[in-house]
A and B are shown apart, each in its own frame.
Chain A
C-alpha cells in the first residue's frame, strides 16, 4: 500500500509564491491527473514529490514517512522529453534499473542474473509494444515509442508512485490515443499509484480516477506574485475505474507479466 500525503505545502521562489496551502491525500492505487493553467505550478508540485525541489513549508509523507529529499527508486518518473538514455539500446534502457539495483559497483549483470533481468525486461517491452525494437537506440524510435520505452523503463524498477509530467504532450493525436490505451492498461494491470500532470482535460478524465485542478484565486497582475495557486477543484472521475487487483505489495509485477503482455499488446495494436 502506498499513500502520499501532502500537508500544508507552500512553495516560494524568492518573492514569488507559486503554490499555497496544498493539502492532498493520494490513496494507494489511484490515478491523479493534475491540471491547471500554464505557470500555475504543476511541474513544481511534481518536482517536490520527486524530491528535486523542497517545499518552502509543509511536508510530504510517503507511507507515513517523510519523503527522502532527493529522487530515489520509490518514485518513478517519465518526463515529456529526455526520459530515456540515448547511449543505451531499447533493451539496455529497461535493464538498467535492475542493474542499478542488483549490481552496486559494476552496474552490470552477468550470467543467470542478467538472463532473469532480460526476461523481465522483455515482458515489459512486450507490454508496451516494443518487442521488435529491442536492439535499436532511442534516436531511431518515434516520439511515442520513446515515451512507451520510458514507461517500461520506469516500471522495471517497481516504483511505489509513478510521476508523469506531460508525458504525452508532444505526441500527435493518433499516437496519443494509442499510448492512452497502453497507460490505462498498465495502470489496471500493475496496481500502481500514478500522478500525472497534463494540459489536456480529456486526457485527465480519460485516464484519471481523480482530477485535481490548480488555480490562482486572485489573478490581478499586482497580486499575482503574492498569491500562489492552490487546489481549486478536486473531482472524482465518474464512472469509477478500478485496477484489476488491489495493490498488495510489490509482488504484483512478478506474478503477472505473461498476462499483461497479452492484454496490453491487444490494446495497443
Chain B
C-alpha cells in the first residue's frame, strides 16, 4: 500500500507525536550534563536543578526593590498588555470587518486603506509610538493592536464576503433590514471565524509584545528575558521561554474549545 494511505494507530500516533519532544529534552539533558561535568560554572546549558533554583527565586521570593514576586508580576503585566491589545484589535476587526465586508460604501472607505496600512511592518511603527504616546503601557498595547488588527479585520471581512450570496438574498426575502441581517445572519456566522482569526493573530501578538517589552519596559516576560540575557542567565531565559510557550498553547487550546462549544453548527459533523 502507498504510504499516504497508511495511518498510524492511536497508540503509535501518540508515540510519534511525543518523539520529537522527548528527543529534544534528551539531547538537551546530555549536552547540559557534558558541559557541566567539564565546567560546573558553565551557564550556557543549565541543568534542571539550576533552572528550578533560579525560578524559585523569581516565583516565591519577594523582590527587594519592588516588593513583588517577579515571575508572577511579569506574567500579569504581559498578559494584561496582550489582552488589551488583542481586545482592541478584536473590536476593530468586528466593527470594521463586518461593515466593510457587508456594506459596499464602507468597503470602499476601509478596504484600500487597510490594505495599504497592513503593508507597514508594525515593528517600524514602534519608534513612532514611543515618540507620540510615550514609553508607557499605551505604546505597547498600541503596537499589538496595530500589528494584529489589519490581519484580523481582513479575515473577518473576507469571512463576511464568503457568506453565500443566496443566504443574504434569502434574508432579504424574509424582510430583513441591513441591521437585522448584520445581527442575525452575518455576526453569528462570523463569530467562529473570528475565533479562528484570533488564534492566528495571537502568534504575531506575542512577537510584538515581547519585542516592545524588550525595547522599552521595566516589567513583563519579554523585559525579564532581555534583562537577564546580559548576565547569560540561561537558567531564567529557558524557563521563561517555556512558560510563554505554555501560555500561548493554553490560549490556543481555550479558543479552540470555545469554538467547539459555542458554535456546534460550525463543525462538519453533528450530533443531534
Contacts and interface: CB of A to CB of B under 8 A. Distances in A.
Given A100-B175, A100-B176, A50 B169 contact: yes
A77 B270 contact: no
Interface stretch (B28-36, B117-125, B128-136, B183-191): B183-191
Contacts of B266: 86-87
B174 A153 contact: yes
Interface in A72-96: 72-73, 75-77, 79, 81-88, 96
Nearest to B185: A85
A154 B269 CA distance: 26
B268 A139 contact: yes
A171 B242 CA distance: 54
A100 B170 CA distance: 12
A138 B267 CA distance: 12
Interface stretch (A101-109, A191-199, A231-239): A101-109
A135 B272 contact: yes
A157 B172 CA distance: 11
Contacts of A154: 173-174
Interface string A127-153: 000000101111110000000001001
A47 B58 CA distance: 68
Chain B interface secondary structure, helix, strand, loop or mixed? helix
Contact of A137 (B169, B175, B265): B265
Interface string A192-236: 000000000000000000000000000000000000000000000
A87 B265 CA distance: 6
A75 B180 CA distance: 18
Interface in A15-55: 50, 52
A139 to B, nearest CB: 5
A108 B269 CA distance: 28
Interface string B244-272: 00000000000000000001111111101
A71 interface: yes
Interface string A105-121: 11110000000000000
Interface in B113-153: none
Interface of A is mostly: loop
Nearest to B271: A140
A257 interface: no
A59 B173 CA distance: 20
B265 A76 contact: no
B272 A157 contact: no
A76 B171 CA distance: 10
Interface string B187-211: 0110000000000000000000000
A159 B172 CA distance: 12
A259 to B, nearest CB: 25
A185 interface: no
Given A71-B173, A77-B170, A99-B184, A105 B179 contact: yes
Contact of B174 (A70, A100, A106, A140): A100
A96 B175 CA distance: 10
A104 B166 contact: no
Contacts of B184: 96, 99-100, 107-108
A83 B180 contact: no
B263 A70 contact: no
* Most chain B beta carbons < 10 A, residue from A81, A83, A108, A133: A83
B37 interface: no
Contacts of B180: 100, 104, 107
B170 A79 contact: yes
B263 A72 contact: no
Contacts of A99: 184
Contacts of B166: 79, 81-83
A96 B173 CA distance: 11
Contacts of B172: 70-72
Contacts of A156: 174
A130 to B, nearest CB: 13
B164 interface: yes
Contacts of B189: 85-87
Given A83-B166, A85-B185, A86-B265, A76 B173 contact: yes
B173 A157 contact: yes
A80 to B, nearest CB: 9
Q: Name which of A100, A108, A157 has the most chain B CB atoms within 10 A of its CB.
A: A100
Contacts of B185: 85
15 contacts: A72-B175, A76-B173, A85-B189, A97-B175, A100-B177, A100-B180, A107-B176, A108-B184, A137-B264, A137-B265, A138-B265, A139-B265, A139-B268, A140-B272, A157-B173
Given A50-B173, A100-B184, 13 more contacts: A71-B169, A76-B173, A79-B169, A81-B164, A82-B170, A88-B188, A96-B174, A104-B177, A105-B179, A107-B179, A135-B272, A137-B265, A139-B270
Interface of B: 164, 166-167, 169-177, 179-180, 183-185, 188-189, 263-270, 272
